[in-house]
Structure 1
Amino acid sequence: MTGFKTEHVAMASVALSGLVWGIFWIPLRALDDNGITGIWAIVLFYLVPAILLLPVMMMRWRRLLRLGWPLHVAGMLAGTALVLYAASLVFTDIVRALLFYYLTPLWSTLLARIMIREAITGARLGTIALALSGLLLILGFDSGFAGMLRAGDWMGIASGIVWAIAAVWMKSDAGGNGFDFTLSYFFWGSMAALLLTALPLEGAGHIPGWSAIWDVLPWIVPFVLFLVIPPAFAVMWGATVLSPGLLAILFMTEISAGTITAAIWAHEPIGLRDLAGVVLITGAGMWEPVVQMYRAKLQPG
């Protein structure tokens, strides 16, 4: 497969994965309804795939050890980022969690400037302006900011920042590949989810009983096999092929899927302010590539 085709397959895979993960809140809420509440629902969603992938980890243990800390730092960062994102879906409104996480293009731009001294162009200033405008709208700048952010909101913001670092790390690691990153991601994600139970949050201390876990296994195992592990591989592989900024842009399909499904099935009120935030933050992700395409068209020949 040529590099051109590989990039296009990666783009389609990441965009499709975003659509699938846009409904990730549904099984989390279903676990809550079955007595597996709060953080423990997230723990289960990371431990189950880690256990299912354990035979593969054992088969590749020499390679996983040989790749060393570059691989495992990537897994720690990606696992921590997406565990925090999953927690934000539990501890704040679905739409707020989505929008705070998808400030990632903003963090990626600032991180590139700080870490590798990448110039902030006019197009990137437009990205920052759109993202910040969307954030201000969601927070309600006209009514003050005091007490506006909940624990889940902070988790959503933190997850976007950590994921931006993880994406840069995976793209720069020439020795890693999507498969090994996926194994590392689920292992370290499980560790991060278990550590999250130590925080003084609602649902952190209530360990679910074995009967509750046994009752949900018939549907959670197929869900993990078909709708958790494959999208995770697509995203981790995409991170090795695509630029971190483009990766974040393509994954924004999750905003649309999450917002629409939350409005239909979770009956979460989505007002004009939230919709405007969706438009602005999505526009932040799309702004720079659109500007580049427009400039390319203006060039002669």
Structure 2
Amino acid sequence: MRAQQIFARGHLGLARTACLLGGAVWGAYWIPLRVLDASGFSGVLATGVIHIIPALILLPLMLIRRSSFRRGGIALQSTGAAMALGILLYSTAFLYTDVVRAVLLYYLTPIWGTLFARLWLAEKISFDRIFGIVLGMAGMLIIFNIDQGLPAPKNPGDWMALGSGVIWALAATLTRRFPSQHAVDLVSTWIIWVAGLAILAMFFLPGTASIPTAEAYRSVLPWLVPLSLFVVLPVYLAITWGLPQLNPGTSGLLFMTEISVGTLTAAWLTSEIIGPREITGIILISLAGLSELLLPALRNAMRWTKAS
């Protein structure tokens, strides 16, 4: 099957791969954020800067495809806005709560996605998906060394993280509810909404309105422009293409590779050490993302063994 046909018709295996790799890239998202923070771009501003450049690149494309955007209507704008609000709330949550609490509360996403798909799309909740969610949650708790389970929300950052997970699960459900939306239109809408909401948030959230110097902008543009062109845009396009083909709970599990890659890159680039606990958690999260492939294959292998 040619690439153009795959893009138009979809491909379940590649859709899973797109979300798996999307989560992996998000696992390294902290690296440019840390560099931007050191250059004077912190919090919401850093998120906005990363998305404003792709937004400017996509504006001419939106003008060319304006008739397609008009046809997308409320469904397209609602989906893009939900995706944008989810990622912006998640990024901002780290300003107001601990990193561990933000990640744990956000990554209840597979549970919300599974429930939305059941209630709104009437998709069955399979044993394989439940097993994957259990594996993923166990792996996450092991990595973060949480002995007493998931934390209850206690501050604005906690509620932002929890809300961002619910909103992202809703966005994933919207992409599946309206699968005719073109991936190019959706990724453009998503990125434009992120940039716009980030600019608004700078004026309404405390401690986010400091403006960096012109020299700061000049220092980050040489690497930020290639990052936007060759990482942000392709990854976001892959995600928006893959999401409508997958159950929202399944895509939530696949995105949990963010935790594994974040753990690995932190150990590689900082003084953090990976031990048996982290390795165990990474393995469990990896198995969680593949549970809906591995468990049916295992059952088929067992049937074949019994039959022979």
Q: Same fold (TM over 0.5)?
A: yes
Confirm or deny: 8 A CA contact 2:112 2:166 kept in the other structure. Answer: yes
The aligned counterpart of 2:247 is 243
Q: CA RMSD, aligned part only?
A: 3.4
Moved more, 53-62 or 129-138: 129-138
Moved more, 110-119 or 94-103: 94-103
Moved more, 278-287 or 7-16: 278-287
Shift of 1:209: 3.2
Give the counterpart of 1:222 among 201, 220, 226. 226
Shift of 1:69: 0.9
The aligned counterpart of 1:51 is 56
The aligned counterpart of 2:146 is 140
The aligned counterpart of 1:11 is 16
Deviations 1:157-194 (A, max 9, x none): 33322221111111221331111111111111112222
Asked if residue 205 in structure 1 is aligned to residue 203 in structure 2, the reply is no
Q: What is the number of residues matched between the two proteins?
A: 299
Deviations 1:190-221 (A, max 9, x none): 122223324544x4132323332233112211
Give the counterpart of 1:186 among 176, 182, 191. 191
The aligned counterpart of 2:178 is 173
Shift of 1:260: 0.6
Confirm or deny: 8 A CA contact 1:85 1:101 kept in the other structure. Answer: yes
Confirm or deny: 8 A CA contact 1:43 1:194 kept in the other structure. Answer: yes
Give the counterpart of 1:164 among 149, 162, 169. 169
The aligned counterpart of 1:263 is 267
Rounded Cα–Cα distance in structure 2 between residues aligned with 1:139 and 1:218: 38
- 1:102-113 paired onto structure 2 within 5 Å: 102-113=107-118
The letter for the 2-side match of 1:25 is W
TM-score (norm 2): 0.80
TM-score (norm 1): 0.82
The aligned counterpart of 2:258 is 254
Give the counterpart of 1:79 among 65, 79, 84. 84
Shift of 1:156: 3.6
Unpaired runs of at least 5, structure 1: none
The letter for the 2-side match of 1:37 is S
Give the counterpart of 1:64 among 49, 64, 69. 69
Rounded Cα–Cα distance in structure 1 between residues aligned with 2:220 and 2:182: 32
Rounded Cα–Cα distance in structure 2 between residues aligned with 1:85 and 1:157: 8
Percent identity between the aligned chains? 37
